[in-house]
Amino acid sequence: MMARPTRPHRPARASFRLAVTASLIALLSGCANYAEQLAPDSPTEPWQQGRKTGTALLPQRAESRQTQTQRDFSVSGNPEIAQLPAAPEVRAGKVYQLPELIDLAARNNPTTRVAWEQARQAALAVGIAESTFVPTLSANVIGGRQQVTTPVDILGERKDITTNVDGATSAVALQWLVFDFGQRKAVVDAAKQLSTAANVNFNGAHQLLIFNVTRAYYQYGAAQTRTEVAGQSLRNSRAILEAAVQREKNGLGTTVEVAQARQQVAQSELRQVSSTGLQQDAYQALLAAMSISPTLQIKIANSGKRRLPPPADVSTDQMVQQALARRPDVLASYAAMKAGQAGIKVAEADFLPKVYMAGVAGQGTNGFNAAGLPTIGQQATGAGVLVGATMPLYDAGLRAANLKAAESRAAAARATFHKTQEEAVREMVVASNTLRSALASYQAASKLTDAAAITYDAALDAYRNGLGTVTAATVADSGLLDARQARADAHAASLIAAANLAFVLGAMTSPQAAETLPYR
């Protein structure tokens, strides 16, 4: 009689499983402990990419360590990061006006794209909230096999009886929350308010973009004007130098006068170089406000010749009420306050019961098999509809805490709204005063420039005719330069102040509106 193979003893199998489990735990814990070595060794040691790791997360021996004199904190480059977005197409030789620059910025600015994605996410949140009113339908399939081995003694001989149970169940289930005392409606209302806030912030992001480009454009125009003024001052200084050289040739002047005139020319050249550098910086600031490539070369119109109205034409007494109703930040803050109030209703509904309905239709099969016996199987089908209600009784204060938190958030949103209103009114008043002051400064600087021009012409003519000194001519030249630059700065400040007033009034809404000053 052939001997039957014997099965491993149960304690031996248990020991084997325990050893395998312990090995896996040791391996995982070793990987977890080793992961700390992925960081730098110390605050003073550079991190080297790939020095201690290979293709697998397993300990490896470091090839070498840097000495104190060999520390290098450079990092490996990533070619994908060096790929810059394509620069916008511009027409060669075209001089771009402010509305065209704003249009370029709107098509390339990432901030407005982020605001757009946030508005889309908020809109999708409304759809998610509304979908809770619709019943859900799901298909479920569950299958499995269970094996049980039972040792028994038959006539003094140890044997194992193995039984198998196979089964599978497929069902279609319906779930529907019928009534919840307005909780889902409050969730939808809150989502809609937040969607409104996101949409308003999207338009507000475009308004801010328009203002930033407008401000940078006027600052660049001021830098252009300052460069032109510096060039004109250099020509004036050279005219004084020519007069000094001519007087020296005629025996009427001295070398000291010529030296003074040359010093004035050198000073004017230095100012021109400085003005040119500031103009280049302002150009880069304009490109940065537009979020386009700093290497782009584009011709930009000069805003330094734009006419300005007198200060008396500025009026904001009747603008405040209208502006508060259209300011994006005020509208978004108001929507957030309404969303907070809806959140209180959501938390309050947790204290009330909910009525739901469920239905299921399914079919299942199972089979039973024991060693040496025929398989026994059966198949069953069923369907049913259930209507029930649930009422929370005790949750250790969870619902009460959620309600207090919702009330706190609503109170904070309400306070934020009132603060936003006050800050908006303050910004309007300050912007109006700033514009009046800037326009008054421009008027004063214009009068000063006219007087300085007359003084310079008279001083130069007097010096040429031997009736004045070179000192008086150079002082007049410097005074004219300062007056012209002050007028250029006041002109740009007035335009920027007007743009700022339009922005805080919520009127900076389009590229064309950027060129329309808020005057009445």
Per-position pLDDT tens, the chain of length 520: 444 444 444 555 556 666 667 666 655 565 556 667 777 878 888 877 765 444 444 444 444 444 555 677 888 777 777 777 676 777 778 888 888 899 888 888 889 999 999 999 999 999 999 998 988 888 888 888 888 887 877 777 777 778 877 888 888 888 888 898 998 999 999 999 999 999 999 999 999 999 999 999 999 998 998 898 888 888 888 888 888 888 778 777 778 878 888 888 898 889 889 989 999 999 999 999 988 888 888 888 888 777 887 776 555 566 788 888 889 999 999 999 999 999 999 999 999 998 988 888 877 777 766 666 666 666 777 778 888 888 888 889 999 999 999 999 999 999 999 999 999 989 888 988 898 899 999 999 999 999 999 998 888 888 888 787 888 888 888 888 889 989 999 999 999 998 998 899 888 888 887 776 655 4
Residues 313 and 248 both lie in one domain: yes
Residues 187 and 141 both lie in one domain: no
In total, the chain counts a number of residues equal to 520
Residue that terminates a domain, selected from 390, 415, 449: 390
At residue 69, the pLDDT reads: 55
Residues 320 and 428 both lie in one domain: yes
Look at residue 194 and tell me if it is in a domain: yes
Residues 313 and 250 both lie in one domain: yes
Q: Domain total for the chain?
A: 2
Query: In Å, how far are 34, 41, 377 from 57, measured between CA atoms?
Result: 8, 17, 49
Residues 329 and 473 both lie in one domain: yes
- Euclidean distance between CA atoms 216 and 205, whole angstroms: 16
Look at residue 73 and tell me if it is in a domain: no
Torsion angle of the four alpha carbons 118, 123, 126, 130, in this order, in degrees rounded to the nearest 10: -140
At residue 219, the pLDDT reads: 92
Residues 219 and 341 both lie in one domain: yes
Residues 262 and 336 both lie in one domain: yes
Neighbour count for residue 156 (Cβ, 10 Å): 5
Residues 260 and 370 both lie in one domain: no
Query: In Å, how far are 143, 169, 358 from 146, measured between CA atoms?
Result: 10, 15, 30
- Euclidean distance between CA atoms 211 and 502, whole angstroms: 9
Neighbour count for residue 141 (Cβ, 10 Å): 9
What is the domain extent for residue 382?
A: 137-179+354-390
- Euclidean distance between CA atoms 488 and 486, whole angstroms: 5
362 phi and psi, to 5 degrees?
-150, 170
Look up the CATH number of the domain holding residue 323: 1.20.1600.10
> What's the angle, vertex CA 388, arms to CA 362 and CA 349, rounded to 5?
130
Look at residue 226 and tell me if it is in a domain: yes
At residue 465, the pLDDT reads: 81
Look at residue 235 and tell me if it is in a domain: yes
Residue that terminates a domain, selected from 390, 418, 446: 390
E strands in 254-394:
299-300, 354-370, 376-390
Look at residue 58 and tell me if it is in a domain: no
Give the helix/strand (H/E) hosting 491: helix 470-504
Look at residue 234 and tell me if it is in a domain: yes
At residue 316, the pLDDT reads: 58
Residues 381 and 408 both lie in one domain: no
Residues 268 and 305 both lie in one domain: yes
Residues 234 and 363 both lie in one domain: no
List residues bridging with 384 in a β-sheet: 360
Look at residue 446 and tell me if it is in a domain: yes
- Euclidean distance between CA atoms 251 and 468, whole angstroms: 16
